[in-house]
Amino acid sequence: MAKAAPQLEWCIVRLGEDHNWWVEEVSDPVRWDVDGLSLIDPRQVQHIIDLIEPMRDYGFDQDVMERAFFPFRIERDLGAGRVHLTRVKDSLFESEDKLFALPDLLDEENGPYADFLDHITRMRVKMLNDLFDFEQKLSVDEVEDEIREARNIDFMEGKAVHVFTEITAILDYAPAGWEGEEEGERPARKEDELDDADLPALDEAEEERLKNDQSLKWDEDEEDLKDDELDAEGHKRAPEDKDKDGKDDEEEADDDLEEGESPRRRSGRDRS
């Protein structure tokens, strides 16, 4: 897709200390100011596309993003963290090459890149309002004001805001208290959260009473049963399994053996 800047054919970029790419030189220095000009690398392009994917269900227009960037591919490595890029006409979404993307900032206020930021902000707000049970619906103005305030702080501190940071601030946006929440779930309120500090202390007498409370015991009784008190299936043996003297069959057999009768003689008697 042809762009409005035919003289922008190549650019030289450098890898900054923040591990982002910044423009050092362009083929059209008349209309392009490289001071603080940044672009997104192939890895960041793919990350942005992944974040955008869920917003397709809410009306995201892929062409808006295509118009917002000039795609470039690597021409040659200049060394010392500098790379020469050549402009191409490929799609950021469909190209098999790993592309860099330079935002179209010839008109920062009303140009294609500004339209892109506005578009993804509206899509993000629409998606959040659908997925989360907010007490009051989010508005585009509210989100823009909050993001702009954070951006102004960086400007006042003399920090250049990278385009990747600017975009992901919108695509990752969530209202305070909702960050990292599962879709559609309300975040836990502080009054609903209990920790050990909130539990009342128990004195020794109360702890001993609870320890001996039979209603608080679960399977301890069954676990403490001796093997000779359980039947073949592991259940507690019924009272009728014992004779009048309180002895079961195995105990009687042991008594016979103690009186000197061998197991073989006893088994032979049983068969007769």
Q: What is the pLDDT of residues 74-131, one digit of tens each?
A: 999 999 999 999 999 999 999 999 999 999 999 988 999 999 999 999 999 999 999 8
Residues 151 and 255 in one domain: no
pTM of the model: 0.64
**Mean pLDDT value of segment 209-238:** 54
What tens digit of pLDDT does each residue of 160-206 get?
889 999 999 999 998 876 655 444 444 444 444 434 444 445 556 65
Residue range(s) defining the domain that contains residue 233: 222-260
To the nearest whole percent, how much of the chain has pLDDT over 90?
52
Query: Does residue 263 surpass a pLDDT of 50?
Result: no
User: Helices 112-131 and 140-156 meet at what angle, rounded to 10?
Assistant: 120
Residue 23 forms part of a structural domain: yes
Same domain, 130 and 237: no
Would you say residue 95 lies in a domain?
yes
Distance (Å, rounded) from C-alpha 96 to C-alpha 113?
Answer: 23
Q: Residues 141-150: what's their mean pLDDT? A: 89
184-189's contacts with Cβ under 8 Å and 24+ in sequence apart are 184/131, 184/132, 184/133, 185/132, 186/132, 186/133
The answer on 110 and 33 residing in a single domain is: yes
Residue 253 is assigned to a structural domain of this protein: yes
Number of domains into which the chain is organized: 2
Task: Give domain status of residue 149, yes or no.
Answer: yes
pLDDT in tens, 8-61: 999 999 999 999 999 999 999 999 999 999 999 999 999 999 999 999 999 999
Domain contains 5: no
Residue for token pair 């202390």: 201
Does residue 138 carry a pLDDT above 70? yes
Q: Which of 107, 141, 171 finishes a domain? A: 171
Total number of residues shown for the chain: 272
For the chain, give the mean pLDDT. 77
Q: Answer yes or no: is 192 within a domain.
A: no
Does a structural domain hold residue 197?
A: no
